[in-house]
């Protein structure tokens, strides 16, 4: 049974539109991550979030991306103005407590930008 729930499972949007992907932890995790997987490519790190702030981000995570945890529960990834190349599977992941390095992944949100 997954520990992380992601919504929506699939979203189709027009280029230039804003998209918000949501992640709801089931257990009490402390560290939050977003990864993406473009079709046929490897899973890439986007951003990590701890104690209500970004702790690390990749070069992919430019100004069009943002993350927040608005209500202390949901963890969201916002893409302000989607581009065709943003089409990918976006995975939320969580870790903690304990120092093991293991992450628990959601089932992913597939974003298709037309």
Contacting residues toward other proteins, per CB under 8 A: 2, 4, 6, 31, 33, 35, 41-45, 48, 50, 56, 91, 93, 95-96, 99-108
Measured from the CB atom, is 16 or 97 closer to other proteins?
Answer: 97
Measured from the CB atom, is 45 or 66 closer to other proteins?
Answer: 45
Least gap, CB of 49 to other proteins (angstroms): 11
Cα gap 108→33, rounded to integer Å:
12
**Of residues 23, 8, 19, the one with CA closest to residue 95:** 23
Least gap, CB of 91 to other proteins (angstroms): 6
Measured from the CB atom, is 7 or 96 closer to other proteins?
Answer: 96
Q: What is the DSSP letter of 52?
A: T
Q: Return all residues near 53 (Cβ < 8 A) that are at least 6 apart.
A: none
What are residue 92's DSSP bridge partners? 34
């Amino acid at each position: 049974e997954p520990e992380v729930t992601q919504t929506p499972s699939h979203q189709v949007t027009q280029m230039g539109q804003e998209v918000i992907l949501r992640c709801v932890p089931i257990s009490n995790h402390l560290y939050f991550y977003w990864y993406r997987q473009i079709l046929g490519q490897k899973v890439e790190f986007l951003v990590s979030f701890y104690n209500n702030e970004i702790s690390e981000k990749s070069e992919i995570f430019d100004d069009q991306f943002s993350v927040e945890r608005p209500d202390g529960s949901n963890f969201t990834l916002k893409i302000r103005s989607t581009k065709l190349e943003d089409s990918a599977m976006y995975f939320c992941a969580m870790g903690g407590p304990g120092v093991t390095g293991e992450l628990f992944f959601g089932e992913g949100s597939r974003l298709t930008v037309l």
